[in-house]
């Protein structure tokens, strides 16, 4: 007997759960429990466990699914209980034969307060349509009682062309006009939507540059954790605040919120963690686990096929995070030990001459002042102190007449 009822009756009653039972699904500590499986979910699982239950090919639909031996054992136990139950055995008999608690045996079939991770991932797979060839689903979080079916975004397993980037970005809604970053720069939602690709290019450059990254391997509190967060600390001044506000706008275009955190020593800017940022690091930047942009070269050959405006936005993200202007006004520079020659190759694709310094072991990419202005190497919307310094040197040296978007 369970709670004064026969286990079979308890299982049957689980099928009639409605929204009014939500309050009853919490434990004494206030933790939300898993709701029992719906009739549709039970039908899906019954079909799975009576046919190809050993096949885990459904996980291939997801990008970077994380599971371990414990998950496999729990999934196998669920399959055993389901198959024995469907063969007509009682929960008491199943409990005795498998040596598990009778309540747990019942919960594995009913789903009440127990959805094994791989079982729930299978339900998620059945809920989603099949992704296009070469693409995967990224879930915004691990399935849990508060969100059994997380929002999913389709991502390419490998970037093959610029069109992959455009198709990825199309999935995100337009940034609303009341967004703080839009108001900060006096822009419009339409402008942001029109320049969504360039904003993403800027984000990629900034992530290769000075953006701090909370990599998922640092997280030890969860077995299924693969989220990354962006955190950046900059000196307190108006210029850096503008750079980080633009970064906020770029993150918002891919549905990632970020905000300034309280600090009297620096401007601390943190994003919310998500799996999309991990995908960007692994696939877009081409970095493996434990690799860092400070010491490992990026694998971004796909960039070389992108249009000029996207490449310029990428260079601007680099320059606004790791860039500087020579105090004499002869050149602008981007610091990077592992990637200087690759950045030089990108600039050559858009007919911008540059050179690495020093030649023997490059740690810096340099672009003379005139081509830096023509690019421009610093973002004209942000108008950081680097941008203004570059313009002031150009006006002082009479290299170029003032241009509308270079106005200080």
Please indicate, yes or no, whether residues 326 and 260 belong to a single structural domain of this protein: yes
Q: Same domain, yes or no, for 108 and 189?
A: no
Q: Dihedral, CA atoms, 111, 112, 117, 123, nearest 10 degrees?
A: 40
Last residue of a domain, one of 89, 111, 127: 127
Of the residues 127, 162, 188, the one at which a domain ends: 127
pLDDT number for residue 265: 86
Domain annotation covers residue 123: yes
- Please check whether residue 134 lies inside any domain of the structure: no
Same domain membership, residue 352 and residue 267: yes
Instruction: Please give the residue range of the domain that contains residue 82.
Output: 7-127
Q: Stretch 245-252: mean pLDDT, rounded?
A: 96
Q: Which residues are CB-neighbours of 131 under 8 A, at least 6 positions away?
A: 61, 137, 154
Q: Report the Cα 146 to chain-centroid distance in Å.
A: 20
> Which tens digits make up the pLDDT trace of 340-398?
999 999 999 999 999 999 988 888 999 999 999 999 999 999 999 999 999 999 989 88
Clarify whether residues 192 and 108 are in a common domain: no
Task: Tell whether 18 is covered by a domain.
Answer: yes
Q: Do 200 and 73 reside in the same domain of the chain?
A: no
Q: Which residue has the higher pLDDT, 255 or 225?
A: 255
**pLDDT tens per residue across span 265-303:** 888 888 998 999 999 999 999 998 888 888 899 999 999
Look over the chain and give the mean of its residue pLDDT values, rounded to a whole number: 88
Report pLDDT digits (tens) over 174-210: 999 999 999 999 999 999 999 999 999 999 999 998 7
Do 227 and 123 sit in the same domain of this protein? no
What pTM was estimated for this model as a whole? 0.88
The secondary structure of the chain in percent helix, strand, coil, rounded to multiples of 5, reads 45, 15, 40
Please tell me whether residues 91 and 192 are part of one structural domain.
no
Note the pLDDT of residue 229: 85
Does some domain include residue 303?
A: yes
pLDDT of residue 217: 65
Is residue 61 situated within a structural domain?
A: yes
Tell whether 149 is covered by a domain.
no
Backbone angles phi, psi at 23, to 5 degrees: -65, -30
Number of domains present in the structure of the chain: 2
- Residues 270, 189 share a domain: yes
Chain centroid to Cα 4, Å, comes to 47
| Rounded CA separation 85/244 (Å) | 57
> What is the per-residue pLDDT across 113-138, written as a single tens digit (0 to 9) for each?
999 999 999 999 999 988 999 999 99
Has residue 355 been placed in a domain?
Answer: yes
- Whether 107 and 242 share a structural domain: no
pLDDT at 33 over 60: yes
Asked whether residue 299 falls in the same domain as residue 363, the answer is yes
What pLDDT does 226 receive? 80
Does residue 146 lie in a domain region?
no
Boundary residue ending a domain (127, 142, 157): 127
Judge if 53 and 197 occupy the same domain: no
Q: Are 148 and 32 in contact (CB under 8 A)?
A: no
One domain, residues 211 and 96: no
CATH number at residue 367: 3.10.28.10
């Amino acid at each position: 007997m369970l709670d004064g009822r026969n286990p079979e009756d308890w299982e049957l009653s689980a099928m009639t759960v409605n929204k009014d039972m939500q309050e009853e699904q919490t434990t004494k500590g206030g933790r939300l429990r898993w709701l029992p499986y719906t009739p549709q979910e039970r039908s899906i699982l019954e079909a799975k466990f009576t046919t190809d239950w050993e096949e885990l090919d459904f996980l291939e639909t997801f990008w970077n699914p994380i599971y371990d031996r414990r998950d496999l054992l729990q999934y196998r136990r669920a399959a055993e209980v389901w198959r024995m139950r469907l063969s007509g055995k009682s929960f008491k008999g199943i409990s005795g034969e498998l040596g598990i608690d009778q309540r747990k045996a019942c919960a594995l079939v009913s789903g009440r307060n127990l959805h094994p991770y791989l079982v729930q991932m299978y339900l998620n797979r059945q809920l989603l349509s099949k992704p296009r060839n070469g693409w995967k689903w990224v879930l915004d979080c691990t399935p849990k009682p508060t969100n059994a079916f997380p929002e999913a975004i389709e991502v390419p397993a490998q970037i093959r062309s610029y069109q992959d980037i455009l198709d990825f970005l199309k999935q995100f809604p337009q940034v609303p006009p009341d967004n703080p970053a839009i108001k900060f720069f006096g822009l419009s939602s339409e402008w942001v939507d029109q320049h969504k690709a360039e904003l993403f290019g800027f984000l990629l450059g900034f992530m290769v540059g000075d953006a701090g990254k909370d990599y998922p391997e640092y997280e030890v509190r969860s077995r299924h954790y693969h989220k990354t967060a962006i955190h950046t600390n900059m000196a307190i001044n108006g210029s850096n605040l503008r750079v980080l506000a633009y970064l906020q706008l770029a993150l918002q275009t891919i549905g990632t919120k970020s905000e300034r955190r309280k600090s009297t020593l620096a401007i601390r800017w943190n994003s919310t963690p998500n799996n999309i940022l991990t995908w960007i690091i692994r696939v877009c930047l081409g970095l493996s686990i434990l690799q860092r942009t400070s010491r490992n070269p990026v694998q971004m050959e796909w960039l070389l096929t992108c249009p000029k405006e996207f490449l310029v936005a990428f260079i601007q993200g680099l320059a606004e995070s790791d860039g500087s202007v020579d105090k004499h006004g002869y050149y602008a520079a981007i610091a990077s030990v592992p990637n200087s020659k690759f950045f030089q190759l990108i600039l050559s694709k858009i007919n911008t001459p540059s050179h690495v310094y020093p030649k023997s072991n490059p740690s810096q990419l340099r672009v003379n002042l005139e081509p830096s202005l023509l690019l421009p190497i610093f973002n004209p919307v942000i108008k950081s102190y680097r941008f203004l310094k570059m313009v002031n040197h150009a006006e002082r040296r009479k290299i170029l007449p003032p241009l509308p978007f270079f106005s200080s």
